[in-house]
Structure 1
Amino acid sequence: MSKTKVLKNRWVMIAVAAVAVVAAWLAWQAIWGGEKAPVYQTAEVTKGDIEVSISAAGKVAPKETVTVGAQVSGQLTELLVDAGDLVEQGQLLARIDATIAETNVEGSRAQLKELQASRKQQVATLELAKADAERAKMLFENDAIARADYEAAQSNHTVAVGKLDAIDAQIDRQSSTLRAQQATLEFTNIYAPVAGTVVSLDAVEGQTLNANQTAPTILSLADLTVMTVETDVSEADVLRVKPGQDAWFSTLGDSTRRWETTVRQILPTPEVLNDVVLYKAMLDIDNPDNLLKPEMTAQVFFVTGSAKDAVLVPVTALQANPERRQRPQGEGRGQQTASAEGRAREGRAQGGFMQAEASEPAGAGPQEDSRRKAFTEARKAHPDAEVATVLVIGPDGTPRPRPVLIGLKTRTQAEVIYGLEAGQTVVTGEVSLSRSSTASGPSGQQGQRRPMGPPPGRM
């Protein structure tokens, strides 16, 4: 290789190394060199609906369920319905073998006829005894018969009256027995006590039913047009749930549909599961299309507060007690020398307004007084509102603290009662570019999110 070619290659390598050094220096300056302006995470103030609720799990059940059983013993000869059938009140559902019941009715009816015949005989005997007694009385008064004959005739009449009364009592008793046995015979036909849907069958044709000790269940009827959601509410939340309170739920089968209802009642006796005290809250809901089925799982939400078309901001935009900026001397308010604790206490005492005014430029006194007065009036109008501060991006892109009144608040959104308007932009976080001052090189990571608050040197 010639000397000229070697020198040429050496100069090429030197040029490449110089370019690499310059590129590395520029990259270091771009990433770690000098102070970087903070990059904010922002969100737009919007309008919408907000709802605060208590969630609980529950299950769907028919509001009214009737168990249909057998009042007589015997074999189930016919079962005329199946599960899922709609039945009307009074409709025949099943039949039990009526042989024994029919025999008992026929025997009681025959005994009743026998007693009725005996009564006719006794009536005739009573009429004869009455006539003898009247005749004996007339003859005794005329001294035609002895006293013994007179008393015997009167006694026979009294005995005849008593026998007739006894037969009448036997007839009443036998009539009652007959009616009971006729009812037993009628009980062999099972009728629907209410209109509804057959939700379960607990007996089959040919099964022998024994009703001597307990009434055996044949089937269950339920009115599925009105369902009840039985919800377990913890003791920590039950005091915030009241009868008549608005609520809604969704089911696993259709989580997008919202079933609106109210709380009917809260059962007073709790259920304790693994040392957890749960109270039953009952919610009724119309089910005309039969979309809700028994034993469905429901996610229930008890509404404790809601607002329509409210001004909303993300919860991450709220600052309860942000740090106040140290003002340079000569800005018209003097150097801030109070401790951090004193500044926070002062800000709370002024309802959050002092937290925001520290970042305003000097010379805005009348404007500050007007805003302070408006904020104070808003506080009086909403005494239960929470005071917070948000950073609003101004026209020049600089965030400015602003006191606000917060109403309802969920985990993600908050209702702004006063202080913001829809369309404004608020800071929800800050992305900082950190750098290391050590000689070993940069160790910070780009994109690290700083805690919510004003940037250093701005508050």
Structure 2
Amino acid sequence: MMSFSMRRSAVIVSVSLLALGGGALSLDRLMAGSDLEPEFTQPVALGTIEETVLANGVLEPARMVNVGSQVSGQLKILHVQLGQSVRQGDIIAEIDSTAQSNALRSARAALANVRAQRAGRLVQLQQARQAYQRQRILINRSVTSTANLETADAAFKALEAEVEALEAQIVQATVEVENAESNLGYTRVQAPMDGVVVAVVAKPGQTLNAVQAVPTIVVLAQLDVMRVKVQISEADIGRVHQGQDLRFTIMGSPDKPIPAKLEQIEPAPSTLATDSSSQAGITGQPASQAVYYNGLFTTPNTDGRLRPSMTAAVTISSGKATDVPLMPWAALTNREADGRYRVKVRSSEGVISERHVRIGLTDRIHAQVLEGISAGEHVVLPADGELSSSADLVSM
């Protein structure tokens, strides 16, 4: 009886050990299988893709003028204030006109003096002409001498020259009067265009000195049309050209993009204008310094929400395609010398093969497939170690 129980226990222990051994073997196989990286795929599907260039810009009025004084003097009256709208020809400011009024009176007096001298010389010239004609008559009758004729002729021609000189002085004095009248008119500063006063630089009572430079009194701007100056990096300038569609947002309304078109691209960086010479600006720029080219476009500002010096986030559309096969950008691995990429494709039977594909537009999420893969096929997303460098993808 005891021996039967012992034999039964031995059998149970043996079966348990076999079961444990089989379980351990399955776990090892499972652990061994866990080392295999799972494969993730994504289908190639038809869709719309847009390739863009991102840049920052600054808003400024499409037209802005510094209104200053062309004459020196004390600013007596300022007729405008900050934010006021003005029309072309409106009086902006008045400058003390005492010096200009006196200069005009002096110029007019000088002109009158020269005209009086000319009138006196004309009377003398008439007398000299008559004397000369008399001597010619007398010399023909042999009543007078040749010396008297020559003397009368010389006096006549001298007075004739003096009259011509006085006529030239009259022209010069007339110009002086016109200049004095203009200077007197400059004491009443007028608005050169319609606009809004965006800055008041001078104050009443301030002395303005216009000898070396034109002092600014106010700054006028037309705010109904704004100009945006966009800084485009040298890495993106090759994908940007005049006439491209774009959109921009401001910080206060990031969810309301404003459409526009790129109107102009400046041919050289704006830093060249600040250098002492163009050659120094080209050869003397450090290699590590970023280079930006200004793109320009205008946009209406009928509601007035766009203001000078605002920052604009600009998105330039460098290309757009609709209903084209799109594959995930992350599936692009090594780039070949001919510009194509090697991509792994899994068939419906689960077989993985390698293809060479050529891509077009990309938004860094998807890429347009030009050749190599058709819509409906599944591409394999590579592991981290197989991803191509971002520099290769950006340089497309």
TM-score normalized by the length of structure 1:
0.63
Which runs of structure 2 are paired with 1:297-316 in the superposition (5 Å)?
297-316=311-330
CA distance in 2, matches of 1:120, 1:33: 124
Which runs of structure 2 are paired with 1:146-225 in the superposition (5 Å)?
146-225=145-224
In 2 relative to 1, CA 250–401 (structure 1 residues): closer, same or farther, beyond 3 Å? farther
CA distance in 2, matches of 1:148, 1:318: 113
Cα deviation code 1:125-151 (max 9, x no counterpart) = 211221121112211221222334333
Which runs of structure 2 are paired with 1:254-333 in the superposition (5 Å)?
254-256=253-255, 257-262=257-262, 264-269=264-269, 271=271, 275-289=288-302, 290-316=304-330
Which runs of structure 2 are paired with 1:267-416 in the superposition (5 Å)?
267-269=267-269, 271=271, 275-289=288-302, 290-316=304-330, 386=341, 388-391=343-346, 406-416=359-369
CA distance in 1, matches of 2:313, 2:340: 30
CA distance in 2, matches of 1:219, 1:273: 39
Is 1:128 the counterpart of 2:127? The answer is: yes
Amino acid at match of 1:307: A
In 2 relative to 1, CA 218–106 (structure 1 residues): closer, same or farther, beyond 3 Å? same
Residue 16 of structure 2 corresponds to none
Find the residue that maps to 1:71 and give its secondary structure.
coil
Is 1:140 the counterpart of 2:93? The answer is: no
Find the residue that maps to 2:193 and give its secondary structure.
coil
Structure 2: give runs of 5+ residues left out of the alignment: 1-22, 272-284, 388-396
Q: Larger deviation: 179-188 or 308-317?
A: 308-317
Cα deviation code 1:131-178 (max 9, x no counterpart) = 121112211221222334333332332232233223222222211111
Cα pair 1:226 1:284 within 8 Å, conserved: no
CA distance in 2, matches of 1:140, 1:90: 69
Cα pair 2:44 2:379 within 8 Å, conserved: yes
Find the residue that maps to 2:60 and give its secondary structure.
strand
CA distance in 2, matches of 1:202, 1:139: 78
CA distance in 2, matches of 1:166, 1:320: 90
Query: Which structure would you say has the larger RCO, counting Cα contacts within 8 Å and 6 or more residues apart?
Result: 2
Residue 378 of structure 1 corresponds to none
1:385 CA displacement:
6.3
CA RMSD of aligned residues (A): 3.9
Amino acid at match of 1:98: S
Cα deviation code 1:197-226 (max 9, x no counterpart) = 333221122211011111111122333344
Residue 104 of structure 2 corresponds to 105
CA distance in 2, matches of 1:110, 1:55: 67
Residue 95 of structure 1 corresponds to 94
Max radius of gyration: which structure? Answer: 1
Cα pair 1:317 1:390 within 8 Å, conserved: no
CA distance in 1, matches of 2:381, 2:108: 92
Amino acid at match of 1:83: L
CA distance in 2, matches of 1:163, 1:319: 96
Cα pair 2:94 2:188 within 8 Å, conserved: yes
1:304 CA displacement:
3.3
CA distance in 1, matches of 2:315, 2:223: 22
Residue 58 of structure 2 corresponds to 59
Amino acid at match of 1:110: A
Cα deviation code 1:17-48 (max 9, x no counterpart) = xxxxxxxx9xx98xx69979998766566544
In 2 relative to 1, CA 119–385 (structure 1 residues): closer, same or farther, beyond 3 Å? same
Structure 1: give runs of 5+ residues left out of the alignment: 1-24, 322-347, 349-382, 431-448, 453-459
Paired residues, what number? 346
In 2 relative to 1, CA 57–67 (structure 1 residues): closer, same or farther, beyond 3 Å? same
1:73 CA displacement:
0.2
Identical columns (%): 30
Cα deviation code 1:219-266 (max 9, x no counterpart) = 223333443333333333334434444444332222221433225123
1:88 CA displacement:
3.4
